[in-house]
Structure 1
Amino acid sequence: MDRIRLMLIDDHPIFLEGLTTLVKIGYPEIEVVGSFNDPRSAIRDVETLRPDIVLMDIRMPTMDGVEATRRLRTLVPDIRIVVLTTFKDIDLIQKALAAGVKGYILKESPVESVIENIKSVLSGNVLLPAEFAEQVAWERQDRHDDHAKLRHDHGELPAVVQSLTNREREILELMLDNQSNSMIADRLFLSERTVRNYVSRVYEEIGIHDRAGLLLWAIENDLR
């Protein structure tokens, strides 16, 4: 089995060196392919190193983790990024998630928990500290309700839509809002695999095979 390719970014050298050493000694299934004090250097080398996942601080002097996330994902779109930080700031969490961060871990967490979370994110999950998860979920739901097409913006729905479960209908709404599977997973706190399963069921119920067909179906049924 291939080893997990991990990149570390933190502007505190002692913390960075300590974490690098702990991972190398205690977790042979993980290869630290690069450790950087400056996210700009990581951005420069990411296409060469091709990490599976990046563990990064969010507040650094040369570039914050939110901007670094955007740039890293532009260069390597399928990269997974997890923030490891001391900052318990809900606004910062929201910005990080919007930029594409897949996990937000506090530095007070034991290293065993950090490694478990890395593996969980690589399995398609999105992770937040328990004390923040509910608040983020409520705020996202409020924004989602403001844009809920199927429930509020249209009259009587096609029978096939009415036959969907509440979750399937929610997935359909987000698909019609041009949300990718990854974005839907982030928004609803589901794994991408779970979202793919829901998307497949929606396609099957409607009788289409892809998003282009879904768009045409939505236009024909006055849902767009």
Structure 2
Amino acid sequence: MASIQPIHRPALKEVLVVDDHPLFCEALSMTLRGALSVPEVIMANNLTEALSLLKGRDAPDIVLLDLNLPDVDGLDGLVRLKSAIPDTPVIVVSSLSDSAIVTSVLSAGASGFIPKDSDKAMITEAFRQIRDGGIYTPADYIAPVDNDGSDTDDAPARLASLTPQQACILRLICEGKLNKQIAYDLSIAETTVKAHMTAILRKLGVHSRTQAVLVAQKAKFDTIANSDKVV
């Protein structure tokens, strides 16, 4: 009877974490060093710092990228990072864990998605799967069956139809804030926030907060991409 050959699992030597939350970074570093025996965990507080660290050196084995950094808007951080290190797997982490968000980051080149509130076991499993060449998604992720009909090609035009107050509320939604938090920040009633939210969804031609965030992210990335073109 032939013996079963053990599966070779490449060891992770270096992981880059791009996140501006010190407590999360510390907990993740402990998990990587302890559960996965990663000898080197490098930290960057923003995308600019991460891209600077990557210059003139070998790429890390895996990068973990916070979707909501102070110097990025939407998916442009992921796109710019993949452009700099196209062969390195990137895991996105975010408090926005709707299936549409997960689909969006995977389409933009991410090798996996970890919700911000994931426990140690989930984070460990995600890194193990991606280290072995797989794609990691949360257990409750639902892959899209067909197009939901929300074409974002005219996203800038739709966003331009928002009033200043509606645009401000959408920006806070993109930061992951709830209606109650938005009402407090803007010193308005929560019912007023809900009324604005209804108007925002109608003007953007979408049916959920997540779809509204995706429209905003698409428009932000388009703006950045177009600003880099030589005219």
Tell me the TM-score normalised to structure 1 length.
0.54
Contact map agreement 2:29 2:41 (CA 8 A) in 1? no
Deviation at 1:42, TM superposition (A): 0.6
Taking a change above 3 Å as real, the CA distance of residues 106 and 35 of structure 1, as seen in their structure-2 partners, is same
Higher relative contact order (CA 8 A, sep 6+): 2
CA deviation vs aligned residue, 1:185-209 (integer Å, no higher than 9, x gap): xxxxxxxxxxxxxxxxxxxxxxxxx
Contact map agreement 1:23 1:32 (CA 8 A) in 2? no
Contact map agreement 1:66 1:99 (CA 8 A) in 2? yes
Q: Does residue 37 of the first structure (1) align with residue 45 of the second (2)?
A: yes
Equivalent residue number for residue 127 of structure 2: 118
Task: Tell me how far apart the structure 2 counterparts of residues 55 and 65 of structure 1 sit (CA, whole Å).
Answer: 16
SS at match of 1:68: helix
Deviation at 1:51, TM superposition (A): 0.7
Contact map agreement 2:79 2:109 (CA 8 A) in 1? yes
SS at match of 2:97: coil
SS at match of 1:73: helix
Contact map agreement 2:12 2:36 (CA 8 A) in 1? no
Unaligned runs of 5+ residues in structure 2 are 1-9, 150-231
Deviation at 1:137, TM superposition (A): 3.6
Taking a change above 3 Å as real, the CA distance of residues 50 and 140 of structure 1, as seen in their structure-2 partners, is farther
Taking a change above 3 Å as real, the CA distance of residues 45 and 113 of structure 1, as seen in their structure-2 partners, is same
Equivalent residue number for residue 26 of structure 2: 17
SS at match of 2:124: helix
More helix, by proportion = 1
Deviation at 1:33, TM superposition (A): 3.9
Taking a change above 3 Å as real, the CA distance of residues 49 and 35 of structure 1, as seen in their structure-2 partners, is farther
CA deviation vs aligned residue, 1:109-129 (integer Å, no higher than 9, x gap): 221321221121122211212
- Aligned residue pairs, count: 140
SS at match of 1:43: helix
Unaligned runs of 5+ residues in structure 1 are 143-224
Task: Tell me how far apart the structure 2 counterparts of residues 137 and 119 of structure 1 sit (CA, whole Å).
Answer: 25
Taking a change above 3 Å as real, the CA distance of residues 98 and 50 of structure 1, as seen in their structure-2 partners, is same
Equivalent residue number for residue 145 of structure 2: 138
CA deviation vs aligned residue, 1:69-90 (integer Å, no higher than 9, x gap): 2112212111101112221233
Taking a change above 3 Å as real, the CA distance of residues 118 and 2 of structure 1, as seen in their structure-2 partners, is closer
- 1:1-224 alignment runs, 5 A limit: 2-28=11-37, 30-47=38-55, 48-64=57-73, 66-132=75-141, 134=142, 136-139=143-146
The letter of the residue matching 1:38 is N
Equivalent residue number for residue 206 of structure 1: none
